[in-house]
Chains A and B, each alone.
Chain A
Amino acid sequence: MKSSSLTPSVISELASIVGAEYVLTSDEDRICYAYDGQRVEHIPDAVVRPIDADQIAKILILANEEKFAVVPRGGGTGLSGGSVALYGGIVLDLTRMNRILEVDPANMHAVVEPGVITQTLVTTAEKHGLLYPPDPGSVKVSTIGGNVAENAGGLRAGKYGVTRNYLMQLEAISPTGEHFKSGARTHKCVVGYDIVSLMCGSEGTLGVITKVTLRLTAMPKFRNTMTATFAQASEAGQAVANIMAAGLVPTTLEIMDNVTIRAIEEFAKLRLPVDAGAMVLVEFDGFSKAAVDEEGNTAAHILRTSGASEVTVASNASERDRIWQARRSALAALSRAKPTSILEDVTVPLPKLAEMIAAVQHIAEENNVIIGTFGHAGDGNLHPTVLTDERDEEDITRAEKAIEQLFEAALELGGTISGEHGIGFAKAPFLKHELGEGSLKIMRRIKRALDPNNILNPGKFV
């Protein structure tokens, strides 16, 4: 293993900022901060664990003097390499900054530090009868800082939106070590450039988030959940588009293809229709039972007229739990089928969903790889999961080729290569296909203006 390239004097300066026990330089520690939730790893030169914004500012000033890279990291569950130290330097572990500073039910907001685990915020908000809706799959281990930096989505995005929709105010440290603040603790604010939105999804390239004020919303009281079975996956895709076109706003609208259904059944034994081409899962929530029932009835009717062979409405909580248990096991079940699973998140406009699903199937056949597809169909976001074995070079090459074709297909349909996982370095080479040279130039100029020495998270998307 390559030893740290930071000089002892830099290490000791870092130690004087955060305390020696919070600077980790052993091989064991460095290797454990080399990864996130995707495949490719890079070993950092050191890990530094600050406790407040002032320490972060000092670290960044030192980094600019000594020219080493700083890579912010929360739970390390990202799926695009956002917190992987591609060019070495230090990983800035923000998990010690994990206080919920304020929950204000009157203004419906919460103020948190970046290292707060998303689930902890959700649970705390619930105690006040409030909902923090963004629920990425990693909600129990990911941090708010990471969610903001990646603009995390989740199962409820169709109705409630993504992390960006819940940001009121941010405090952060710029790449050169200055404190700054943007937004307000109000439900409206148009003062200055919208730096809050710029920071959201910037993957730690433009600043280190140190405090976040998040909007909370009222907790809905009723739910109506149903499943529908289709012979063909593309029929299911069309049904989803029909539901959305009818003006319905489901909280969650999920799709699972045959590969996924069979994997789940194998793993969890939930009596799923293993011969079905696809299943669609729909849930409505709201404050009036009559309203969610009516929405449910309309959706059930649309599903039937769109060719569903069976539509089942959950009549009680345990039936509903069974449905969501199936969906929640999707990734687990697929990942057990082969040693390596690569989870993508291409997203297309709703009317193109059926075409995208067909394209995924075609790409899988053409490259002779297994791809299980599930995802948040209600917002056009699919999770084609390529199953492979990273130790088999030939296998992984075919998988990579298939992934490239998935991106191309999504772009051809007017979609995007990433709906919620971010670009990191895993998808960086494809960025210009989607955005074009002009947009990249603007992004590079912003990056250079804020971070002249390219200190913060170098190698990520620009």
Chain B
Amino acid sequence: MSRFEKLDNDVSACMKCGFCKAVCPVFLEEETTSPRAKVRLARAVARGEMTLTQGIKHQMERCLGCMACAIECPSGVEPNRIALFMRSEYVVQEGLSIIKRFMFRRVLRNPRLAALVSRLLGLAQHISAIDLQNNPLRLLLPLIGMRKDKDLPVMGRRSLFSIVPEIVKPIGEEKIRVLYFPGCAINLIYPEMGLATLEILQKLGALVLIPHDLVCCSRPVFSSGDIVGAGWLARRNIEIMASVPVDYIVTSCGSCGLTISREWTEVLEIPEAATIGAKTIDISTFVAKYASEDAFRQLEGDEVFTYHDSCHLNRGMKVHDEPRQLLQAALGKRFVEMESADRCCGGAGTFSLYHPELSQEVAEVKMCRLAESKADIIAAGCPACVMQLRDSLVHRSMPQRAIHTVEIVNRAIHFASPRGY
């Protein structure tokens, strides 16, 4: 079956009922912006009604990949995947820009180079003092696709790989052996989230392997349509992962977790990825499964916490209840549910860079519901969501804070004998 025949098959299942419009965060009244329209435009290309126009490209890029439409679809169509496929067709037709080519095919393939680029960015950030909101240099930010008041994460800190050894021993006796895949955001930008994850694993008696040559999971690469580049990264990771015998591959990033557990097989179509995918587990599921109830102590304080579902963690990896159970155990009544917890925050990885304004339009709903929840702190199981939530809060001068779930869980969990290995 040719590529377009397969696409034609995928889009044919769409009955055009339009139910996807009820859940799509970037559908803004105009039909053309809906998931149903993306499917229709893909069909137009598959059947030769239209060519790969710039207008269609624009619509295909206007997708968060939040999967809400795919879950809602009665016929099992996945508009998000159709948009991904279409993006890859544009890459086949137009090639990659020089910057993307350099990032996807050079930097992300080499952990040392990635760390160096991160250090250089950090240096530039430090020298320019661009973090200061009144810095006139901020006027240049829109040129690289950022809002003037963008909350910039501190770049160039010591990477997780440079802080921790490749083998981290458990506290006490070794009960289980896992590989921790931190992903680029945690390794290079938020190492504290990685450290918290590692401490949790140690406390639960896990011997943790962190191969320092692991590369990007490939999500931002195939998400930009570079299937070939993504395939290289996935295979490189698979090679490393397959060489170490572990019980689980643990992730603490919803997007990395989904990519490893499903997308390497389903999007990149790498059959060898299936066994690795089956072994992949989110840290919250791991804790919920292996920590005994007395492993938690309730944290003291008055701040109220709520939880935001990372789309990839919730709809992608089907991890919904576990983080809530852990937060409940750590916080008791100080944990409250927010409305629309499962609605996309608008970050969607690089989407917030390509579509800064739309990204904040999507975030608006989340911020309103957060304010209504009366929570002081919003937790999420994905560094990309945390980054977007922090930026959205700064943008609105809101007092709430955003953190990763592991940072709460690590504080609440003390060393206790884990159960049931």
User: Which A positions have Cβ atoms within 8 angstroms of B?
Assistant: 1, 24, 26-29, 31-38, 47, 49, 75-77, 93, 95-96, 98, 115, 117, 119, 138, 140-141, 329, 331-332, 335-336, 339-341, 389-391
- Is B13 a contact partner of A27 (Cβ separation < 8 A)? no
4 shortest A-B CB distances, which residue pairs? A332-B74, A28-B55, A140-B22, A32-B37
Say if the beta carbon of B30 comes within 8 Å of chain A.
yes
Say if the beta carbon of B211 comes within 8 Å of chain A.
no
Contact among B9, B13, B41, B76 with A32 in the assembled complex (CB-CB below 8 Å) = B41
B9: chain A residues at CB < 8 Å are 339
- Is A49 a contact partner of B12 (Cβ separation < 8 A)? no
* Total number of residue pairs linking A and B with CB closer than 8 Å: 91
- Is A335 a contact partner of B74 (Cβ separation < 8 A)? yes
A98: chain B residues at CB < 8 Å are 29
| B84 smallest CB distance to A (angstroms) | 18
Alpha-carbon gap, A232 to B37, bound state (A) = 42
- Is A31 a contact partner of B19 (Cβ separation < 8 A)? no
B49: chain A residues at CB < 8 Å are 1, 31
Contact among B12, B22, B41 with A31 in the assembled complex (CB-CB below 8 Å) = B41
**Contact residues of B between 273 and 321, Cβ < 8 Å to A:** none
Most A CB atoms within 10 A — which of B15, B21, B56, B59? Answer: B15
B44: chain A residues at CB < 8 Å are 31
- Is B12 a contact partner of A339 (Cβ separation < 8 A)? yes
Say if the beta carbon of B16 comes within 8 Å of chain A.
yes
- Is B18 a contact partner of A332 (Cβ separation < 8 A)? no
Alpha-carbon gap, A24 to B30, bound state (A) = 10
- Is B17 a contact partner of A138 (Cβ separation < 8 A)? yes
Given contacts A1-B50, A28-B41, A336-B76, contact A35 B16 (CB under 8 A): yes
Say if the beta carbon of B266 comes within 8 Å of chain A.
no
| A281 smallest CB distance to B (angstroms) | 18
Most A CB atoms within 10 A — which of B17, B49, B50? Answer: B17
- Is A28 a contact partner of B32 (Cβ separation < 8 A)? yes
CB-CB nearest in chain B for A35: B16
Alpha-carbon gap, A36 to B21, bound state (A) = 13
Number of interface residues, chain B, beta carbon within 8 A: 28
Say if the beta carbon of B133 comes within 8 Å of chain A.
no
Alpha-carbon gap, A257 to B7, bound state (A) = 33
Alpha-carbon gap, A445 to B75, bound state (A) = 42
B76: chain A residues at CB < 8 Å are 336
A-contact 0/1 string along B22-33, CB 8 Å cutoff: 100000011110
- Is B50 a contact partner of A27 (Cβ separation < 8 A)? yes
Alpha-carbon gap, A75 to B22, bound state (A) = 10
- Is B12 a contact partner of A28 (Cβ separation < 8 A)? no
Q: Given A31-B41, A35-B40, output 7 extra A-B contacts at Cβ < 8 Å.
A: A24-B30, A76-B18, A117-B22, A335-B15, A335-B74, A335-B75, A336-B74
| B413 smallest CB distance to A (angstroms) | 32
CB-CB nearest in chain A for B75: A335
Say if the beta carbon of B243 comes within 8 Å of chain A.
no
- Is B21 a contact partner of A141 (Cβ separation < 8 A)? yes
Q: Can you report 5 residue pairs joining A to B where beta carbons are below 8 Å apart?
A: A31-B50, A37-B18, A38-B16, A93-B31, A140-B22
A35: chain B residues at CB < 8 Å are 16, 40
Given contacts A28-B41, A28-B53, contact A138 B19 (CB under 8 A): yes
Contact among B18, B41, B50, B53 with A141 in the assembled complex (CB-CB below 8 Å) = B18
B50: chain A residues at CB < 8 Å are 1, 27-28, 31
A119: chain B residues at CB < 8 Å are 22
Contact among B29, B31, B75 with A332 in the assembled complex (CB-CB below 8 Å) = B75
B75: chain A residues at CB < 8 Å are 332, 335-336
- Is A75 a contact partner of B55 (Cβ separation < 8 A)? no
**Contact residues of B between 125 and 174, Cβ < 8 Å to A:** none
